[in-house]
Amino acid sequence: MNEIPCASMLRLCHYFVSICSVHFVSMIAAESSFVFRNMAEASSDVMDWPKKDNRRFLHVVYRVGDLDRTIQFYTDCFGMKLLRKRDIPDEKYSNAFMGFGPETSSFVVELTYNYGVSSYDIGTGFGHFAISTQDVSKIVESVRAKGGNVTREPGPVKGGNSIIAFVKDPDGYTFELIQRGPTPEPLCQVMLRVGDLDRAIKFYEKALGMRLLRKIERPEYKYTIGMMGYAEEYESIVLELTYNYDVTEYTKGNAYAQIAIGTDDVYKSGEVVKIVNQELGGKITREPGPVPGIGTKIVSFLDPDGWKTVLVDNKDFLKELE
């Protein structure tokens, strides 16, 4: 039997090792490609969720110093209806829900009164709410008659023909009154100021599935507005994001609280928000899950400018209204 020289044996071993190594690396590369492709597809599915979800503006939450006074003012001056009221003595606060239609289909205000607190700081970031009406002057006269503050008399908007006015409620919240024809959603806007409009638009598109309905440039007045929502501006509530040139930060105060939006799955929605928070800023303030004592599933978070949104499970929300 002939013996293989050591040098030849060594070369043969190197040959087999190299073949095995190439095969092994190829297997690892293929496996990695498969894993990364699946991860990318999974990430894409997650980010597509807001567009597939059943989203709807539910209510806007803010604090008032005298609940009964505010209820009376909104009823007499704006024509809102008291939809429900609840008192939580253990937590030392009361809520009143008011609007122009039922909570099952309309956007409403949730007024919060904390025991013993009669005033709040609205800050510089909150702008106004808006009400669509067929007669701006009539509401202005009602506000004036009830001792309210009219900050802009009815008249055409600068550079346009729309008739508007501005008034303040007893707590100092500003309401814009817009003269329009009949609409299914009279409570039609919430305006918030942001420090970077493009960033804010991307956040609400990606994290909440909203659409940019309209962008208004007003260089002569040094501001730009982005109207965000889920339906056309004259059919539904919109979020009006306002950027004032060269102003990047605002004070939030402690009066305005948050907007609530319905979702079919708070857990999927929370995953999306976390990804967008990492990209654009903001943070989760309450992980997805049921609220103790109520059972309604929610997830809450801040946008890059610090404005809070709460996503509420649609089915759980309807159970609350039963």
- How many CA atoms within 13 Å lie on the side-chain side of 171? 29
Rounded alpha-carbon distances, angstroms, from residue 312 to 48, 158, 228, 241 = 19, 38, 19, 22
Q: How many helices (H) and strands (E) does the chain have?
A: 6, 16
What secondary structure does DSSP assign to 18-84, as a single string?
Answer: HHHHHHHHHHHHHHHHHHHHHHHHHHHHHHHHHHHS--EEEEEEEE-S-HHHHHHHIIIII--EEEE
Give the 3-state secondary structure of residue 260: strand
Query: Do the Cβ atoms of 111 and 95 come closer than 8 Å?
Result: yes
Rounded alpha-carbon distances, angstroms, from residue 56 to 64, 229, 260 = 25, 9, 9
What order of strands is seen across the sheet that includes strand 93-99? 81-88, 93-99, 108-114, 56-63, 256-263, 308-313, 297-302, 283-290
Task: Mark whether 176 is an active-site residue.
Answer: yes
Residue 187 token pair: 């409570």
- Rounded CA-CA distance 126/109 in Å is 15
**Residue in 103, 110, 176, 185 annotated catalytic:** 176
Sign of CA dihedral 6, 7, 10, 11: negative
Active-site residues, by number, are 176
